[in-house]
Amino acid sequence: MLQGSRASDHMTAKLSVPELENMANKLRLHVIEMTYAARSGHPGGSLSAADMMAALYFNFMRHDPSNPQWEDRDRFVLSKGHVAPVLYAALAEAGYFPVDDLLSLRQVGSMLQGHPVRGKVPGVEMSTGSLGQGLSMACGIALAGKMDGKDYKTICMLGDGELQEGQNWEAAMFARQAGLTNLIAIVDRNRLQITGDTEDAVGLEPLPEKWKAFGWNVIIIDGHNMRQVVEALEKAANAKSRPTVIIMKTVKGKGVSFMENNVGFHGRACKDDEYAKAVEELKAVIQ
């Protein structure tokens, strides 16, 4: 099994690759339903991240939904906080809170704020939503793990557009300097930001070379190939001398035909007819 030396009774059961693929589509369906109920939210980047989120919470991460504060848990920081819906969906499916609560997204009084809030939602480690800050926070958590002699991993998911924020590169330099081999960054490289193609806004390429130049291990995968996703995480977990970044090539809106590569769905929910079609498409592939 993955991470044999880190295995623990607290760990949730690991799903197989086909089961993870199915879970990813269940998360996608939740995202569509939640954002439709809220009449707002960010479905596009939630859908591109869904496969990785399924792999993290149902295969890779050492965590215990019945004990969110377990001190040996792996920590996940969602730097691209606007895709909170897919994080909430994963947490609910994992058992941190009832799945029924998901439809309270973005409602007054709900713990499910538009962007994740530490202390409000079981399983949410850090408050995020303003881009470019999660990797620094993850560095702090990973550094604390090293100081305390803990073997937990800290995983930080970043959007690709948010790499235009300079703070990420401050954090990337620091992680290398501090020897944070227990830190895994994941870049959801769906190539779209609100303006359009990242390369037309302020280009990120050559992105792997940038991370390499900052002293990181770089793993490039197809973020919708579950076997590659699982293997990349395993490889990252065994890094010996450097922090690791997984650049996963993804499709914004993945899983719903008319949302794929459609930047219009970055920050808006489905309308009634779109909702019906999206639900139909996703239900057709969910076992």
Using CB under 8 A as the criterion, which residues of the chain lie in contact with other proteins when the complex forms?
77, 117-119, 125-130, 133-145, 147-148, 154, 166-167, 170-171, 173-174, 177-178
- CB of 75: closest distance to other proteins in angstroms? 8
CB neighbours of residue 183 within 10 Å: 31
Closer Cβ to other proteins, 136 or 228, answer by number: 136
- 279-284 long-range contacts (CB < 8 A, ≥24 apart) are 279/29, 279/32, 279/33, 281/255, 281/256, 281/257, 282/25, 282/28, 282/29, 282/32, 282/255, 282/256, 283/29
Residue 82 or 249 having the CB closest to other proteins: 82
Instruction: Tell the smallest beta-carbon distance from residue 149 to other proteins (Å).
Output: 11
CB 162 within 8 A of CB 136: no
| Nearer Cβ to other proteins (48/168) | 168
- Please report how close the Cβ of residue 178 comes to other proteins at its closest, in angstroms: 8
Q: Round to whole Å and give the CA distance between 131 and 144.
A: 23
Amino acid at 14: K
The DSSP element (H or E) to which 25 belongs, if any, is helix 17-38
Find all residues with CB under 8 Å of 206, minimum gap 6, and list them. none
Q: What is the rounded distance in angstroms from the CA atom of residue 51 to the CA atom of residue 59? A: 11
Q: Report in angstroms how near the CB of residue 145 gets to other proteins at its nearest.
A: 7
Residue 76 Cβ, how far from other proteins at the closest point, in Å? 12
Residue 116 vs 255, nearer CB to other proteins: 116
Minimal distance, residue 135 CB to other proteins, in Å: 7
**Pick 30 or 106: Cβ nearer other proteins:** 106
Residue number with CB closer to other proteins (25 or 136)? 136
CB of 161 to other proteins, least distance (A): 18
Q: Which H helix or E strand runs over 23?
A: helix 17-38
d(CA 114, CA 102): 12
Strands (E), 63-126: 75-78
In eight-state DSSP terms, residue 57 is I
Smallest gap from Cβ 251 to other proteins, in A, equals: 29
The span from the CA of 91 to the CA of 94, in Å, is 5
Question: Considering beta carbons, is residue 53 or 141 the nearer one to other proteins?
Answer: 141
Q: Return the number of the residue (105 or 156) whose C-beta is nearest other proteins.
A: 156
